[in-house]
Amino acid sequence: MPSSTQQNSSWPAVRTGPIITGAALFGAGALIALAGLAVGGTHLFSATRQWIREMEVPPTEQARIKWAQAKTAAAAGTAAWQNGTSAREGAQT
C-alpha cells in the first residue's frame, strides 16, 4: 500500500471552487432576501400608517377611552365589594 493514500485521512478531500461558488450564491441570495424584506417592510409600514390616518378614532384615543372604562369598572367593582352589595340586590332596585 502506498503511503500517499494515508495522508490526511481524517479530513475529506474538498475542492475550493464549488465552495467559493456556493458561498457567492449564498451571499447573493441573502442580499436579494434583504432587498425583498426592505421593499415589503416599507410597503407594510406605509399601508399601516395610511390605515391609521383613515380611522375615525385614532388608536391612542381608543386606548385612552378603554383605559378610562377599565378604571371606572374597577372602581365600581371595588365599591361594590367594600359595601357588600350583591348582584341580586342591584338587580332588584
pTM as predicted: 0.53
∠ CA 38-39-43, rounded to 5°: 115
- Find which of 33-42, 73-82, 83-92 is predicted with most confidence, using mean pLDDT: 33-42
Q: What dihedral angle (degrees, nearest 10) is formed by the CA atoms of 38, 44, 47, 49?
A: -90
Amino acid at 16: T
| 39 and 27 co-located in one domain | yes
Phi-psi region of 84 (alpha: psi -120 to 50; beta: other; left: phi over 0): left
| 50 and 65 co-located in one domain | no
Domain presence at residue 71 = yes
Residues 21, 28: Cα–Cα separation, whole Å: 11
Q: How many domains does the chain have?
A: 2
| 50 and 66 co-located in one domain | no
Q: Which residue has the cell 502506498?
A: 2
Domain presence at residue 31 = yes
Kindly report, residue by residue over 8-39, the tens digit of the pLDDT: 568 888 899 999 999 999 999 999 999 999 99
**Range of the structural domain that residue 22 is part of:** 16-54
Domain presence at residue 80 = yes
Domain presence at residue 5 = no
Domain presence at residue 48 = yes
